[in-house]
Structure formats: C-alpha cells, structure tokens
Chains A and B, each alone.
Chain A
Amino acid sequence: MRHTSLFSLYFTLLIALLCQLFPWVGQGIIFRPDFMLVVILYWLLRAPNLCNVGTAWFAGLLVDLATGSLLGQHALSFSVAAFIALSYQRRLVLFNTWQLAGYVTALLVIERVVILLLKLFEGNDNPGWHYFWPVITGLLLWQFMILMFGGLTRPKTN
C-alpha cells in the first residue's frame, strides 16, 4: 500500500485541470475523459479522510469555470457522484478488480446523465450515444490512476 498525502491529491487535481485545459480538437473532444471527475473519485474512494463531497464540488466548479459552461452544472453532478461513491466506500475493499471497474463505470454514467439532464433543461439538443464515450476513456484513466497511485486499501491476506 502506497502512501497518500494531501499534496499528491492536489497535485493530481492540478494535472487533471491541465489536461482538461489542453486544446482538444475535432474527434478528441468526443473521447476526452472527465479528468477531474476520475481523479476526484479515485481520491474519494482511496483516501476519504483527505477529501469529501465538498472537494468534489469545488473540483466541479473549477471545471465549470474552465469550460465556460453554466456555473454550477459540473459542481452539482460531481457532488452527486461523490455522494454515491462515498456511500458504498467501506464495502469497496471487498470488491475485485472487475466489480470495482463496474462500480466506477456506474458512477461515471451517473455523472454524465446528471450533466445531460442539466444541459437538456438549458435547451440543448440530445447529443446522441457518442456523448457516453468519456465513460469508457474515463475507465481507462481510472486503471491508470490505480497503476500510478496503488489500488484501494485492502486488508492483508497471508
């Protein structure tokens, strides 16, 4: 088990914001994973003593400011996803890799659906199924995070 610290949390969030700011063009924007969401979900499940729903809300607000969308949309969806992530957090240590991947997929889908609902309220058209591509790429990013910063806390079995 690798060490977790507030520094690594905020550093990875900064990197995620940088990736979000990267000029995505053409097809890239369809496949772009929600960097901030995946990183904040990872830290929520990995180290819930370091961050909370409020951190997720703040990360969402940063995404709103950076993308120029209506202020509060991502903040709302991030805090909903964070709440659902946290409510099962204690049970996750018993999950195997595939179950965990399924759980994270569900979280990412929920966040996308919340954003979609908000955008539809705002008067946008239905974007179609390719709108859910970031879930797949987000899952890849999740695996990368686990590779980089270690899996979830799990009791030692010898």
Chain B
Amino acid sequence: MLKGVHQKLEAQQTPAFFVRGPSPFSRMVFFCALSISIMAIDARFNYLSQVRQAFIAALHPLEVVANAPSEWYRDVKKYFSAHNALVQENYALKQQAFEHQIMLQRLSTIQAENNHLRSLLNGNIPIQPKAVLGEISHMGRDPFTHTVVVNRGSQHNIKAGQAVVDSKGVIGQVTRVYPFTSEVTLITDKELSIPIQIERNQLRAIAFGEGNNTLDIPYLPTNVDIKVGDKMVTSGIDGVYPSGLAVATVTKIQQNPESPFAKIVSTPIADVSNHLQLLLLELPEAKESELIPPAAAEVVNHKKEDAPKKNAAPRKNGTASKNISSKNKAKTNASH
C-alpha cells in the first residue's frame, strides 16, 4: 500500500513555480568566473579588441541618437548668439590672422634657411606630418580614465598611436580606433607618458600623467635646473610626437628631504575642455626599421604592437629598476 502511494507521488511533476533552473548562487559563481576570465583576456591579450570594435560600430546609430539633444542645444545656442559678439569675434580673428600672416612670412624664410643649414650639416630635413581635423564628440564615459572620443575613425585612416594636438599644444595620443570614432587618451592620464624637453635649457626628460590634470616629471635630482614657469615642449625622439610642440608649464617644484628626487608638477598647455576641434597627426613612416639589423627590428616590431595600447611601458618602478639593473651590469663588467 505504501508502495502505491510512493508511485503516485513520483508521477507528479514539480509545479512550474519552483522550476527556475540552476540556483542564483551557482549562476552567480559561473558568471563571476566568466567575467574574471574575460577581464584577464582583455587585460593581457588583444583578442577582444575586434569584438569591441564590432560592438562600437553596431552601437553607432544609438550613439548618434544619444548625442542628438546636445547637438541641437549647441545649434540653437549658435543661432541665438548675439550678432554683436559675432562681429567682435570676426574682428579679433581677422586681426589674429593678419598677425599670423606676418609671422608665417618670416617662418617660411627661416624654414628655408634651416633646411639649407641642415643639408650643409648632412642632417635630415624634418618632415611636416600630415594631419586630419577632428572634433571631440564627447568625453570618455569611464570617470577613472582621462579620455575623449573624436569623430574620426578607421574609416578616415586613423591609426592607434597617432599624436593629437590642438592650437595650443599636445593633447594626447589615439589609443583605440573604431570605424567612425576613436578614443584619445589625454597626456594627463596615468598610463600615458610623453618625452619632453625644457625649452629654456634643452634638458630632456619624460613626463608622466598624474591622473588629476597635472603631469609629473619623476627621477630628476633635487638640484635640477628647472624653474617654476618653464615651458616643456616635445623632444621628438620617440617618433610619435613631432618635436617642438608645447606640452605643459611647470607650476610647482617640491623638494622633499627624504627623497633624492625633486617632485616637479606641471599643468598642460592645451585646453581640452574649451575646444572642440583638434588635429590628429599622421604617424611618421618607420624608415629606421630597414636600417637596423633583423634582431633589433623584431624588438621594434614587438614594441609597436604594444604601442597602440599606450606608449608608457616603463612606469615609475619600471624605469627605476631598469636604471639600477643597468648600473649593476656596468659594475659587474668593471669587476670582470
């Protein structure tokens, strides 16, 4: 009799209310493991950049819709901006153009002279990089990084690693390229570094972004010849940024008695928040790769693969340890 009851119970099905597949906990564990592995893959390898590009391209219409209200607002504001202000601006711009024209006349003669002198010295004539005009469509959406998104992408022959400047100075570098847009990492971002030169005394150094709208020049001794107000320009030895572009001005120098290095803080000259237009400079063609031996070329190529990510491989500790290791090598060589 008991047996019969048992059979009856077995024949019953679980009510649909209780059927919910695996428990939330097991689902959570599964999806956490999945996202951790995705994070590891995204951080270490480049497999997922294709996925990201395809997704951003698919998202482009949605992005256009999202950007529409602010663009309408801008247009309406433009329409209603006072006539008087426009006349004034026009007058000021004309005056500026006139001044620039006079300066340009001098520049062309000086450039010709410079090229001539360089050819006398058997030096290379610097090439003027081509540039594409882009417009900032919005700031980056991740509040932790300093990026802007520009409305030029791989459809306009933009490549990762290109330098980006505005009328005042260097803004940053293209780090990710999507079909219609590209992501520009600002020089103030923690992961970007830029080789610079102090304009006054031609001192070379590397400036690192601090992550809070300032740049830092680490590993310079406390007695280094840098003053507050010094202008930093690009040195051009990295092959990404053409030389002589304004980067930042030194605003603060701290000398900590506990540290052998001076803390040099500087603020960027280029003003990203006030401009919409910027120039994306074309990458210089790597001709050196033909001259250097294949083993070295391999290293260069390898570096280039890394370069688009961010050209700041040697972060603070990295550079320090490198210096130390090279010193140690020198010592061991001497002892031998």
**What's the tally of chain B residues with a CB closer than 8 Å to chain A?**
46
Within 8 A of B (CB), among A63-83: 65-73, 75-76, 79-80, 82-83
Binds B, one of A4-12, A17-25, A91-99: A17-25
A57 within 8 A of B: yes
Q: Does A102 contact B (CB under 8 A)?
A: no
CA distance A52 to B212 in the complex (A): 39
Q: Tally A residues with Cβ within 8 Å of B.
A: 45
Known contacts A18-B62, A53-B27; is-contact A30 B36 (Cβ 8 Å): no
CA distance A48 to B38 in the complex (A): 26
Assess whether A21 is in contact with B66, with CB atoms less than 8 Å apart. yes
A18 touches B38 (CB 8 A): no
List the A residue with the shortest CB-CB distance to B67.
A23
Q: Which residue of A lies closest to B59 (CB)?
A: A66
The stretch of B2-10, B137-145, B159-167 that contacts the partner chain: B137-145
Q: Which single residue of chain A is at the shortest CB-CB distance from B141?
A: A67
Tell yes or no: B42 within 8 A of A by CB: yes
Task: Say yes or no: B144 contacts A72, CB within 8 Å.
Answer: no
* Contact (A65, B24) CB under 8 Å given A76-B36, A79-B35: no
User: Which stretch, B48-56, B227-235, B244-252, touches the partner chain A?
Assistant: B48-56
Q: Which residues of A contact B183 (CB under 8 A)?
A: 68
Contacts of A87 in B (CB 8 A): 24-25
Proximity bits, B28-56, A CB within 8 Å = 1, else 0: 10011011111101110000100110011
A155 interfacial by beta-carbon distance below 8 Å: no
- Closest Cβ neighbor of A77 among chain B residues: B35
Chain A CB within 8 A of B152 CB: no
Residues of B within 8 A of A60 (CB): 35
Residues of A within 8 A of B143 (CB): 29-30, 127, 131
Asked whether any CB of chain A lies closer than 8 Å to the CB of B211, the reply is yes
Instruction: Say yes or no for B306: interface residue by CB 8 A criterion.
Output: no
Q: A52, A73, A124: which contacts B27 (Cβ < 8 A)? A: A52
Contacts of A73 in B (CB 8 A): 35, 39
| Interface presence of B254 (CB below 8 A) | no
Which 5 pairs show the lowest CB-CB distances between chains A and B? A23-B138, A83-B28, A72-B38, A72-B35, A72-B39
Additional pairs, 20, CB under 8 Å, beyond known A30-B143, A71-B41? A22-B66, A22-B70, A23-B70, A23-B139, A24-B139, A25-B139, A26-B273, A49-B20, A52-B27, A65-B56, A65-B59, A69-B145, A70-B43, A71-B52, A73-B35, A75-B31, A75-B38, A79-B35, A83-B25, A124-B190
